[in-house]
């Protein structure tokens, strides 16, 4: 590996770690926005994220993509789907955190890789390797155990996992820069979000206009808190292998889980520990399998280059 490549990988790891650390610490941030309701927090998050990303685009003078996009109905339709999906994800996450169900929100992001694999099989007709099948089976068993433990389907976790999995699938299909796609997604959602904030203001119940102390500023900061980790993630994705991103993604739910258990002291009976342990076993298997495949692919590529070099001489 060249010194330049090594430096890029180091920067990518820093950016990726920063993104997932920020996402992991969200359970400490969203409760600061109370007594604003989850819906009001979501509306603020949409509006102020649009303001922030629009400002970044203005500074960068990065508008050349807009006109071709407006002529591309298929991509606009996909972006609308992505916008609705991420709004459902954000809203469910805020509700889960601010209703003292942080552990269940972490579960959603733990099982998300398993959902993404399932989407790959069902929608993209991908073939799973044996270890992946075993991991998916263990993950399904874990959800069954946790359903029995909760006395209900862990719907917060399920919505988070499926909405984010769907969002990732749509983003892969759209093939658009993170900043540009986020700006379009929030623009699509901005009108109803802004309308709701205007309604709250006219009714005199808006936390943004009547909140005391730092609350209004914190609500405005939702835009920066949403966009910055995403920009860091985008910077990481262009510098480090996808397999590294796959391993880094577990940072956020681990931190969320620890916050739920240690900081908020949420109940963790033995049956719940069993369910989470099964999830972690499945994810460990996926991580080991992913690293092994990445190494094998890299070795095969190096062997192919060596053969080509030998033939050239």
pLDDT digits (tens, 9 = 90+) for 120-164: 878 877 787 888 888 889 999 999 999 999 999 999 999 999 998
**In this predicted structure, what is the pLDDT of residue 23?**
94
**In this predicted structure, what is the pLDDT of residue 142?**
93
Of 184, 171, 173, 186, whose CA–CA distance to 67 is shortest? 184
Residue the block writes with tokens 């095969």: 300
Is pLDDT at 231 greater than 90 in this prediction?
A: no
Which of the pair, 121 or 109, is modelled with greater confidence? 109
**In this predicted structure, what is the pLDDT of residue 3?**
59
Q: Rounded to whole angstroms, what are the CA distances from 258 to 24, 102, 166, 188, 252? A: 10, 9, 26, 35, 10
Residue 122 makes CB contacts below 8 A (sequence gap 6+) with none
Quickly count: other Cβ atoms within 10 Å of residue 106's Cβ.
27
**In this predicted structure, what is the pLDDT of residue 211?**
85
**In this predicted structure, what is the pLDDT of residue 226?**
93
Tens-digit pLDDT profile for residues 238-285 = 777 766 777 788 899 999 999 999 999 999 999 999 999 999 999 898
Which of the pair, 39 or 313, is modelled with greater confidence? 39
Is pLDDT at 309 greater than 60 in this prediction?
A: no
First-to-last CA distance in the chain? 23
What are the helix (H) ranges across 175-266? 178-203, 207-210, 215-220, 222-237, 242-248, 251-258
Instruction: Work out the angle at residue 56's Cα, subtended by the Cα atoms of residues 213 and 15, and round it to the nearest 5 degrees.
Output: 85
Q: Cα-Cα-Cα-Cα dihedral of 13, 262, 275, 249, to 10°?
A: -10
Q: Are 46 and 94 in contact (CB under 8 A)?
A: no
**C-alpha of 100 from chain center:** 20
Tokens representing 294?
């990445």
Q: Is the peptide bond before 190 cis (omega within 30 degrees of 0)?
A: no
Q: DSSP readout, 61-104? A: T--TTHHHHHT-HHHHHHHHHHHHHHHHHHHHHHHHHHTT-HHH
Tens-digit pLDDT profile for residues 167-204 = 888 888 887 888 898 999 999 999 999 999 999 999 99
162 HSE (CA, 13 A, CB side): 7
**DSSP state at residue 239:** T
Is pLDDT at 53 greater than 90 in this prediction?
A: yes
Is pLDDT at 291 greater than 80 in this prediction?
A: no
What number is the average pLDDT over the span 8-28? 91
Q: Are 287 and 246 in contact (CB under 8 A)?
A: yes
Percentage of the residues of the chain whose pLDDT score is greater than 90: 59
């Amino acid at each position: 590996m060249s010194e330049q490549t090594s430096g890029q990988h180091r920067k990518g790891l820093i950016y990726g770690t920063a993104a997932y650390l920020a996402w992991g610490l969200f359970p400490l941030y969203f409760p600061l926005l109370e007594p604003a309701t989850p819906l009001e927090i979501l509306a603020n998050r949409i509006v102020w994220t649009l303001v922030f990303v629009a400002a970044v685009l203005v500074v960068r003078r990065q508008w050349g993509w807009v006109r071709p996009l407006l002529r591309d109905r298929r991509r606009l339709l996909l972006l609308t789907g992505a916008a609705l999906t991420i709004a459902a994800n954000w809203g469910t996450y805020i509700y889960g955190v601010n209703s003292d169900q942080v552990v269940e929100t972490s579960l959603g992001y733990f099982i998300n890789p398993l959902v993404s694999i399932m989407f790959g099989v069902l929608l993209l007709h991908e073939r799973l390797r044996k270890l992946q099948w075993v991991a998916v089976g263990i993950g399904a068993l874990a959800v069954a155990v946790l359903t029995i433990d909760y006395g209900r389907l862990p719907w917060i976790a399920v919505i988070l996992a499926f909405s984010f999995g769907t969002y990732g699938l749509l983003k892969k299909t759209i093939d658009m820069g993170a900043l540009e796609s986020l700006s379009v997604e929030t623009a699509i959602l901005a009108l109803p979000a802004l309308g709701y904030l205007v309604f709250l203001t006219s009714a005199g119940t808006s936390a943004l206009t009547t909140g005391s102390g730092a609350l209004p500023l914190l609500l405005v900061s939702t835009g920066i808190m949403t966009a910055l980790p995403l920009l860091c993630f985008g910077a990481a994705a262009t510098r480090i292998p996808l397999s590294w991103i796959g391993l880094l993604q577990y940072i956020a739910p681990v931190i969320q889980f620890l916050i739920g258990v240690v900081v908020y002291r949420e109940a963790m009976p033995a049956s719940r520990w069993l369910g989470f342990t099964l999830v972690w076993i499945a994810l460990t298997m996926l991580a080991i399998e992913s690293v092994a495949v990445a190494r094998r692919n890299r070795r095969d590529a190096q062997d192919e280059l060596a053969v080509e070099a030998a033939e050239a001489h």
